[in-house]
Chains A and B, each alone.
Chain A
Amino acid sequence: MIISLLDISLQQCFLYSIAVYGIVVSFRMMNFPDLTVDGSFTLGGAVLSSMITANYPPLIALPLVAVAGFAAGSATVFLNRKLGISKILSGILIMMVLYSINLRIMGKANISLLRLPTLFSSYDTDDALKVLIFGGISVVFLICLAYLSMTRLGLFIRATGDNEFMVQTQGVNTDWLFYTGIGVSNALVALSGAFVVQNQGFADVNMGIGLIITALAALIIGESFIAALVSIKKFVFSKKTIAIFSNTKISLLPWSTISELFSALTGAFLYFFIISICLRLGLAPTDLKLATGILVILGISVRLRGPMVETYVRGRL
């Protein structure tokens, strides 16, 4: 039973972790509470499912999904930066607009991909292989984002989220950075939606509702977990080891962002593992949102206190 639970939660966690990376980019790197993701997750699924039903190969659909997600994020940034609507409200507006757009793209509320060629349709029966493939996809995205945070572009994205005024006084138009960052974030979420659709075999116009809470729950659980690990690490490693580490060039890499990405992955796993255990223990699927809400509240309030952990977690919620 545990093995089958692990299989299911690993598959889900790897596919949803891509959306959680997107949340890391918008909420943590850019400090932009972007609620568009509820819509762009479905948008990814809608674009992919309608292209597959029109007999396009899934590998051609995926770049289009990313472009569609990027456009959705850019629209939110446009409302915020050019029209002066607040960040949260512009996210909600685009999320709502996307609901109608998604229905237009799909043509109906639900599209089944049964017996149609998806990326994963040839491995349908082999759960272990699926876990490996999904894990590979998730890790590739994690490495790409870790690399992004080490680049000059990533540095400016993080700096804009941190202190926009400072980046402007350095002569940079921060609008472009918001378009890039939030666009990439939504592209990731849309891709995640496209993968989830291919895995579950259908696209539904309501599948994105509550994604932001799921992703935030995963991220916060992961952050608390990694923070706990770090505080244990302090006892395991001697001061000398830490000193040697902190004097090398490796220590200059953006570790806070990289650990956020790892938090996203571990958090996604913990979240889906806990949820599937709850379901197995007899929780009604309709109570799932309640359980998620309680998990988020617990994750935030049970966070370990103390100076090291505080600066590490950067409590921004």
Chain B
Amino acid sequence: MSAPYVIEARNLKVVYNEGTPNEVVALDLDRDNFCFNVLQGQTIILTGGNGSGKSTLVKAIAGMAPVKSGSVFIHGKDVTGWPAYRRAKHIGFVHQDPMLGTCPNLTVHENFQISLEKPWWLPTPYPLTLTKGQLDSIEKIGLPLAEKKTTQLNMLSGGQRQSIALCLALRKGSILLLDEFTSALDEQTKKAVLLYALSEAKAMKATVIMITHDLTLARELGKESGNVVLTMVGGRFQQVMAIKREISDGIFRLY
């Protein structure tokens, strides 16, 4: 298996509510040995209308969608049968819904403690101080959280919670999946948090797949080297002329 690809999705097909009248084919990349690949350190920006399969693709990679056929490889390993929590060792995921990424009834401090890389079953007290890296990331997302460590997260706004969810996800793994996570943030914070996420991912040499509805932003980001903007329609990738041949050959490949 060629090693440089961090994510490979082969012939992936996702069907919701299979066998019922509500059956929906949300993602259909199942044709002619088609393979969607992402290189180490690459940033993929997915755009497309509602119901075009962007979120489904990202969820299928993270293990949260019912994959009907095809397979997902992460770091060359077949993870199709893995549940989401096993893949989470490689993947940081920020969900569209700000309520899903954090624990509402726990404090800011406790939420940050959960993301520490230690076994969950340790019967020893968790530390009452945050690590320097955590404090730095709190500072960088520009939220006045340092004094609010004892605040429960359901007292914060959706945007603040989403920023914390981003901080928690950034600490994880080498792949960052951002499912349109800035939709709850106001315009100014939105851009700052987004750029912070991307720059931090670059610094960590992480691979990013980001979904956005902001086409101007997508175009802007697409100009930077290493970033690729892809458009999806009806569960498939649209042919994109703007992408140079060598890049598109890397991403879409027959195996």
| B103→A151 contact, CB < 8 A | no
Which residue in chain B gives the minimum CB-CB distance to A247? Answer: B147
Interface check B255, CB cutoff 8 A: no
A301 within 8 A of B: no
Interface residues in A248-290 (C-beta closer than 8 Å to B): 249, 251-254, 256
In the complex, which of the residues B104, B149, B172 contacts A171, with contact meaning CB atoms closer than 8 Å? B172
In whole angstroms, how far apart are the Cα atoms of A171 and B85 in the complex?
A: 4
* Contact among B83, B102, B109, B126 with A150 in the assembled complex (CB-CB below 8 Å): B126
**Interface residues in A205-254 (C-beta closer than 8 Å to B):** 246, 249, 251-254
CA distance A246 to B100 in the complex (A): 27
One digit per residue, 1 when the CB lies within 8 angstroms of any chain A CB and 0 when it does not, for chain B 102-115 equals 11111101100111
| Inter-chain contacts of B93 with A (CB < 8 A) | 169
Interface-located stretch among A93-101, A114-122, A158-166, A186-194:
A158-166
Main secondary structure of the interface of A (DSSP, over half): helix
Indicate if the CB atoms of A153 and B101 lie closer than 8 Å. Answer: no
CB distance from B151 to the nearest CB of A (A): 10
Does A170 lie within 8 Å of B88, measured CB to CB?
yes
Check: A156 CB closer than 8 A to any chain B CB.
yes
- What bracket does the count of chain B residues touching chain A fall in? 35 or more
CB contacts (< 8 Å) of B150 on chain A: these are 246, 251-252
Among residues of A, the one whose C-beta sits closest to the C-beta of B89 is A171
Interface residues on A, range: 20 to 34
Q: Which residues of B contact A152 (CB under 8 A)?
A: 113, 118-126
Partner of A151, one of B106, B126, B149: B126
| Contact residues in B for A129 (Cβ distance below 8 Å) | none
8 chain-A/chain-B pairs, Cβ below 8 angstroms: A152-B120, A153-B121, A165-B95, A169-B93, A171-B89, A173-B85, A311-B154, A311-B155
Residues of A at the B interface (CB closer than 8 Å) are 147-148, 150-153, 155-156, 158-159, 162-163, 165-174, 176-177, 180, 246, 249, 251-254, 256, 311, 314
